[in-house]
């Protein structure tokens, strides 16, 4: 039976620390390039670096953000939507979490505040478009990333061959 509440959602590290998101409300997955400071392991079910931006993209975004004190502006400055990709291991993890999200709520957690631009929103788009998973609507638009989804779909069907 599919529960109505089962869905892929997003949350922030601050949601975790203040208990707005917790392991009773859903399966908590931290998806970040590096493990966040001050987050006790009991607060999360999994930490994954596989679905986060590669180090080069992460570092260039971080330095643009610091230089201009502009979280969201740094996304366009470094052409994030055109550069963000998911590793082969990341696709396998995302598919696994999408399967889980059909049975229970799964939270994708990153440092970014909910409402800010974040790679986890692009993961929500991939979950909806590629794995037909009930996923929360992103709070921002990612038009350039959206254009790349058909290409991802083609390369995924080669990587993860499934019988009909
Ligand atoms: Zn983020």
Centroid of ligand 1 to alpha carbon of 13 (angstroms): 10
Residue 1 has pLDDT above 50, yes or no: no
Please count the CA atoms within 13 angstroms of the CA of 19 that sit on its side-chain side: 1
Angle between helices 88-100 and 119-131 (to 10 degrees): 70
Centroid of ligand 1 to alpha carbon of 54 (angstroms): 13
List the alpha helices (DSSP H) in the chain. 13-17, 55-68, 71-77, 80-83, 88-100, 119-131, 143-159
Alpha-carbon span 22 to 15, nearest angstrom: 8
Centroid of ligand 1 to alpha carbon of 162 (angstroms): 31
pLDDT tens by residue, 34-88: 999 889 999 999 999 999 999 999 999 999 999 999 999 999 999 999 999 999 9
Q: Where are the domains of the chain?
A: 8-53+89-159
Architecture in CATH of 8-53+89-159: Alpha-Beta Complex (3.90)
Tell me what pLDDT residue 6 has.
Answer: 76
Centroid of ligand 1 to alpha carbon of 109 (angstroms): 8
Tell me what pLDDT residue 103 has.
Answer: 92
Centroid of ligand 1 to alpha carbon of 112 (angstroms): 4
Residue 161 has pLDDT above 70, yes or no: no
Residue among 133, 132, 107 nearest 120 (CA) = 107
Tell me what pLDDT residue 151 has.
Answer: 95
pLDDT tens by residue, 2-42: 445 679 999 999 999 999 999 999 999 999 999 998 899 99
Q: Can you give the pTM of this predicted structure?
A: 0.93
Cβ atoms within 10 Å, residue 16:
21
Tell me what pLDDT residue 2 has.
Answer: 43
pLDDT tens by residue, 83-137: 999 999 999 999 999 999 999 999 999 999 999 999 999 999 999 999 999 999 9
Centroid of ligand 1 to alpha carbon of 100 (angstroms): 22
Tell me what pLDDT residue 112 has.
Answer: 97
Centroid of ligand 1 to alpha carbon of 119 (angstroms): 5
């Amino acid at each position: 039976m599919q529960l109505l509440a089962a869905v892929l959602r997003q949350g922030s590290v601050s949601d975790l620390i203040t208990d707005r998101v917790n392991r009773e409300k859903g399966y908590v997955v931290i998806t970040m390039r590096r493990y966040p400071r001050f987050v006790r392991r009991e607060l999360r079910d999994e930490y994954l670096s596989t679905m986060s931006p590669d180090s080069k993209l992460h570092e260039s975004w971080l330095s643009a953000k610091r230089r201009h004190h502009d979280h969201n502006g740094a996304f366009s400055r470094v052409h994030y939507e055109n550069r963000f990709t998911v590793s082969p291991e990341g696709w396998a993890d995302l598919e696994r979490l999408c399967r889980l999200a059909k049975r229970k709520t799964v939270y994708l957690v990153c440092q970014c505040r909910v409402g800010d631009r974040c790679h986890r929103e692009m993961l929500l788009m991939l979950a909806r478009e590629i794995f037909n998973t009930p996923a929360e609507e992103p709070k921002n638009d990612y038009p350039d990333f959206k254009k790349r989804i058909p290409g991802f779909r083609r390369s995924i069907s080669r990587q993860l061959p499934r019988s009909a």
